[in-house]
Chains A and B, each alone.
Chain A
Amino acid sequence: MAKSTIAETGEKPHTLLGADELILNMGPQHPSTHGVLRVKLKLDGERVIGSECMIGYLHRGVEKIAENRSYQQFAPYVDRMDYVAAVSNGLGYCEAVEKLLVVEAPPRAKVIRTILTELQRIASHLLWLGTHALDIGALTPVFYCFREREEILKIFEKYCGARLTTHAFRIGGLQYEAYDTLEKDVERFCKAFESRITQYEDLLTQNRIWLGRTKGVGILKPAEAIALGATGPVLRGSGVKWDIRKAMPYAAYDQYKFEIPTGTTGDTYDRYLVRMEEMRQSRLICLQAIENIPAGPIMAKVGKVLKPPPGEVYHSIEAPKGELGYYVVSDGTVQPYRVRIRPPSFVNLESFDSMVRGHLVADVVAIIGTLDIVLGEVDR
């Protein structure tokens, strides 16, 4: 999209046999466009010579809704953007409004937030791994991934009653105190997860077909990735060491030790390795966090009615898919004047066109998978 759309380029076709180009509409109903993404592919035989992403099939006007809700009322809506990582969405929004209110969540709340968000990252990456492998034709990993994801969702359910759209956090802290066996549950999951992730790696990492399907596919050079605004594992897969958890620590991330994995060539395989390592790192963060959860209140002193002083704030967090930013403008009333959301999936999708050019149709699904987009977030 960034370079040229099909409509814009009126050049003559330069296909292999001088034949006509084939325009293939992939989606919005297609098994591997991860929702309602529609990709218009310009093909020479099976080779992609151009592409155009057509989005908006899931547009719900989330940002507009924010202008007609109070600050607390809008919080559950953000869960519906990246619905496989609802906890992260909520964290970003709550922290943005807290910044606007100039309050800070108590340390206990921060730690619990960190634990849940990291679990959510693992869950989101597990879903990515399963569907990505399924797109490339491996039928089995998806069920193993869901098995582990289920454990995480059970922890969420025990904590706040919801599994998918959790609305786990409140502006100013937490609504609920951690349940009695939270630490034990998280620890049990993390202990078991180590061997499980090795199991997935056994299935895929050294598999020759997997290597053939992912190595050298969808290469994104570091400079290009930065220019296109890619963030998260897509950016790190290209070798750029940028993680908001380290660069601009939020929640309780400054207390824990973890590595930022990066790739070297920026192909699909590198992004796969980066995400696998990120799951391991998230597991380590969780283990460190449950060691020492500070006692104290879970809610900062905020009123029942939130009236932030007039002003504006931008706050971003490292969501599983990349930088999730909230730009909130207050006019001093109970409702935000404007909420602008920077969704990582939407911005990462910009790289799609430059990644698929010259590849085959089979690689298109691999690249959609490796971008790890969620259409709820792309379209909002």
Chain B
Amino acid sequence: MQAVIQATLDFLKAYWAPLLCGLVIVAVLPLIAGYIVLVERKLMADMQARLGPMRVGPHGLLQPIADAVKLLIKEDIIPEDADKLVFWLAPVLSVGAALLSLAGLAIGPAFQVAKGINIGILFVVGVSAMGIYGIVLGGWASNSHYSLMGALRSSAQLVSYETAAGMALVSGLLFAGTLNVTSIVEAQRDQGIWFGLLAPVAFFTYLVASIAETNRAPFDLPEAESELVAGYMTEYSGFRWALYFLGEYTNMIVVASVATTLFLGGWLRPFPNTHWLNFLDFFPALMMFLIGVYCVMRAPKQPAKVQTLFMLAVAGLCFVLAFILVAPLLIPIAKPSLAAAVKPFADGILGSFWFLLKVSVYLYFFMWLRFTIPRYRFDQLMRLGWHFLIPLSIINVLVMGIAMIVGSYLHLAGGWLLLVTIPASVLALIVALYILSLEQKSAATEQARAASDSYAG
């Protein structure tokens, strides 16, 4: 007995920080996902000349909570002909994989659940790919045609775009020389340039493939509302449906974080080594401060008193955040003796700001695309994947590798590497476009042949 308690205590002592981080991920992420949905709805409303949710709370700020409560208390329906166990398991798998993959990501130099995990990116990509089981099994277990078709589309789509995304990551990883998330970001600091600039084609490929991987528009075929009702989620309702939704939005955060880590310099501010840009360290505090000022200015114009108070509360929160973000920068100036003690704190807090900002921009791009363009058709999606993105990413790995060798011969480092990587990227793009044009030509002849005998059948 004694030994068991001792072992438990030892375990807790060693792993309390990751456990805490894990708890935060599981407990807070649903809320974050809910608010991402709210932001998405608000952005969509803004682009569509309307207001979006306005009823629950000031400007609909409490809408996610109302939605969550509604989903939790809804009747739990399992179709009679469904495979009950699998039906139950599928959304859990989906959301579990998504949440687990967050464990490998580092938000700042200090915040990582699986600290120092040396297979970093590989772990994240591998675990998040497991989420497809949730979708396929859910679609199969529902025993509905729409669900089945959604699941089939989803599996085909993920397999194709996972390849392109993986290859794009390889091109980026060539520059880092490691899979460890922290080391990747440090490599970008040492080189003084984001890998997204060194390997623009890889970044672009990953951007497109990650949209497809997370089933977002214009590649949202597995859940295409106007075609398959809700795709693999058609038979799901209430909390199970919410789990799928959570899984989807967590996956968005995951792919955005991977892209940020590998291509956008992780938690580093833009141009981390350029000293005359050091004033950018004050940008986070300034931004929070300005948001706070805006809220204060808007507060008296609110129609109800409770809304005014709420706006002031938001403003207060922003000011507190601004203070937290600026304090670690001001303390060393006031008291140079404390500089060393404050340094990790400053790095951590400013780092997470930059990281989250980049992730937000990435997510904003996702949303923007969704509101702007129509949906691809399934065959077009497959053609884009197999005829363009996969060749492009494979060729890009090849030419990037050659560019690295040439660069090391010429003793290029940092920004000078652009001299070889940019021509290499252009070359990869040209070759891939050439392959695409060949494919299109053969497809056109095939189509003409098919059209000529379509009336025969």
Does A228 interact with chain B (Cβ within 8 Å)? Answer: no
Can you name 13 A-B pairs with beta carbons within 8 Å? A22-B145, A31-B229, A32-B227, A136-B375, A137-B224, A138-B375, A140-B48, A143-B49, A209-B375, A213-B380, A360-B377, A362-B224, A362-B227
- The stretch among B194-202, B300-308, B365-373 that forms the contact with chain A is B365-373
Interface centre among B220, B221, B224 (most CB of A within 10 A): B224
Given A358-B454, A362-B227, decide whether A140 and B372 contact each other with a Cβ distance below 8 A.
yes
Query: Could you list 17 further interchain pairs (A-B, Cβ under 8 angstroms) beyond the known A30-B229, A31-B229, A364-B227?
Result: A14-B457, A25-B145, A136-B226, A138-B373, A140-B48, A140-B371, A143-B49, A147-B49, A204-B374, A209-B218, A209-B374, A210-B374, A213-B374, A213-B375, A361-B149, A362-B221, A362-B227
Q: Mark A29-65, 1 if CB is under 8 A from B, else 0.
A: 0111000000000000010000000000000000000
Q: How far is the CA of A30 from the CA of B145 in the complex (A)?
A: 13
Q: Mark A178-210, 1 if CB is under 8 A from B, else 0.
A: 000000000000000000000000011001011
Whether the Cβ atoms of A362 and B378 lie closer than 8 Å is: yes
Chain A residues with CB below 8 A from B229, complex form: 30-31
Does B50 interact with chain A (Cβ within 8 Å)? Answer: yes
Does B379 interact with chain A (Cβ within 8 Å)? Answer: yes
Shortest distance from the beta carbon of B15 to any chain A beta carbon, whole Å: 45
Given A144-B48, A362-B224, A365-B227, decide whether A137 and B378 contact each other with a Cβ distance below 8 A.
no
Q: How far is the CA of A207 from the CA of B369 in the complex (A)?
A: 13
Shortest distance from the beta carbon of B344 to any chain A beta carbon, whole Å: 45
Shortest distance from the beta carbon of B359 to any chain A beta carbon, whole Å: 23
Instruction: Name the interface residues of B427-457: CB closer than 8 Å to any CB of A.
Output: 454, 457
Q: How far is the CA of A333 from the CA of B47 in the complex (A)?
A: 57
Closest-by-CB residue of A relative to B447 is: A216
Interface centre among A136, A357, A361, A362 (most CB of B within 10 A): A362
Q: Mark A17-33, 1 if CB is under 8 A from B, else 0.
A: 00000101100001110
Interface size, chain A (Cβ < 8 Å): 34
Whether the Cβ atoms of B225 and A24 lie closer than 8 Å is: no
Does B376 interact with chain A (Cβ within 8 Å)? Answer: yes
A-B residue pairs, 9 tightest by C-beta: A137-B375, A143-B48, A32-B226, A138-B374, A137-B374, A135-B226, A136-B374, A362-B377, A209-B374
Q: Mark A133-176, 1 if CB is under 8 A from B, else 0.
A: 11111111001100100000000000000000000000000000
Q: Mark B290-302, 1 if CB is under 8 A from A, else 0.
A: 0000000000000
Whether the Cβ atoms of B377 and A207 lie closer than 8 Å is: no
Shortest distance from the beta carbon of B227 to any chain A beta carbon, whole Å: 5
Chain A interface residues toward B at CB < 8 A: 14, 22, 24-25, 30-32, 46, 133-140, 143-144, 147, 203-204, 207, 209-210, 212-213, 357-358, 360-365
Chain A residues with CB below 8 A from B218, complex form: 137, 209
Chain A residues with CB below 8 A from B378, complex form: 46, 360, 362
Chain B residues with CB below 8 A from A210, complex form: 374
Closest-by-CB residue of A relative to B380 is: A212
Q: How far is the CA of A209 from the CA of B378 in the complex (A)?
A: 12
Chain B residues with CB below 8 A from A135, complex form: 226
Whether the Cβ atoms of B225 and A31 lie closer than 8 Å is: yes
Q: How far is the CA of A276 from the CA of B178 in the complex (A)?
A: 55
Chain A residues with CB below 8 A from B221, complex form: 362
Q: How far is the CA of A137 from the CA of B126 in the complex (A)?
A: 30
Interface size, chain B (Cβ < 8 Å): 31
Given A46-B378, A209-B218, decide whether A139 and B44 contact each other with a Cβ distance below 8 A.
yes
Does B132 interact with chain A (Cβ within 8 Å)? Answer: no
Shortest distance from the beta carbon of A316 to any chain B beta carbon, whole Å: 32
Instruction: Name the interface residues of B345-395: CB closer than 8 Å to any CB of A.
Output: 370-380
Shortest distance from the beta carbon of A351 to any chain B beta carbon, whole Å: 15
Does B141 interact with chain A (Cβ within 8 Å)? Answer: no
Selected from A25, A207, A358, A365, the residue in CB contact (under 8 A) with B226 is: A365
Q: How far is the CA of A314 from the CA of B226 in the complex (A)?
A: 39
Shortest distance from the beta carbon of B369 to any chain A beta carbon, whole Å: 11
Selected from A144, A207, A362, the residue in CB contact (under 8 A) with B49 is: A144
Whether the Cβ atoms of B374 and A133 lie closer than 8 Å is: yes
Does B113 interact with chain A (Cβ within 8 Å)? Answer: no
Q: How far is the CA of A46 from the CA of B48 in the complex (A)?
A: 32
Whether the Cβ atoms of B377 and A213 lie closer than 8 Å is: yes
Chain B residues with CB below 8 A from A144, complex form: 48-49
Whether the Cβ atoms of A212 and B48 lie closer than 8 Å is: no
Q: How far is the CA of A361 from the CA of B224 in the complex (A)?
A: 11
Interface centre among A136, A144, A204 (most CB of B within 10 A): A136
Interface centre among A14, A139, A203, A358 (most CB of B within 10 A): A139
Interface centre among B47, B227, B228, B374 (most CB of A within 10 A): B374
Does B417 interact with chain A (Cβ within 8 Å)? Answer: no
Shortest distance from the beta carbon of B295 to any chain A beta carbon, whole Å: 28
Chain A residues with CB below 8 A from B380, complex form: 209, 212-213
Closest-by-CB residue of B relative to A133 is: B374
Does B33 interact with chain A (Cβ within 8 Å)? Answer: no
Q: How far is the CA of A358 from the CA of B457 in the complex (A)?
A: 10
Q: How far is the CA of A136 from the CA of B49 in the complex (A)?
A: 20
Closest-by-CB residue of A relative to B44 is: A139
Does B217 interact with chain A (Cβ within 8 Å)? Answer: yes
Chain B residues with CB below 8 A from A207, complex form: 373-374
Closest-by-CB residue of B relative to A354 is: B455
Chain A residues with CB below 8 A from B226, complex form: 31-32, 134-137, 365
Q: How far is the CA of A333 from the CA of B380 in the complex (A)?
A: 61
Chain A residues with CB below 8 A from B454, complex form: 357-358
Chain B residues with CB below 8 A from A358, complex form: 454
Whether the Cβ atoms of B225 and A360 lie closer than 8 Å is: no
Instruction: Name the interface residues of B125-151: CB closer than 8 Å to any CB of A.
Output: 145-146, 149
Chain B residues with CB below 8 A from A133, complex form: 374
Instruction: Name the interface residues of B207-254: CB closer than 8 Å to any CB of A.
Output: 217-218, 220-221, 224-229
Whether the Cβ atoms of B227 and A361 lie closer than 8 Å is: yes
Shortest distance from the beta carbon of A156 to any chain B beta carbon, whole Å: 21
Shortest distance from the beta carbon of A180 to any chain B beta carbon, whole Å: 29
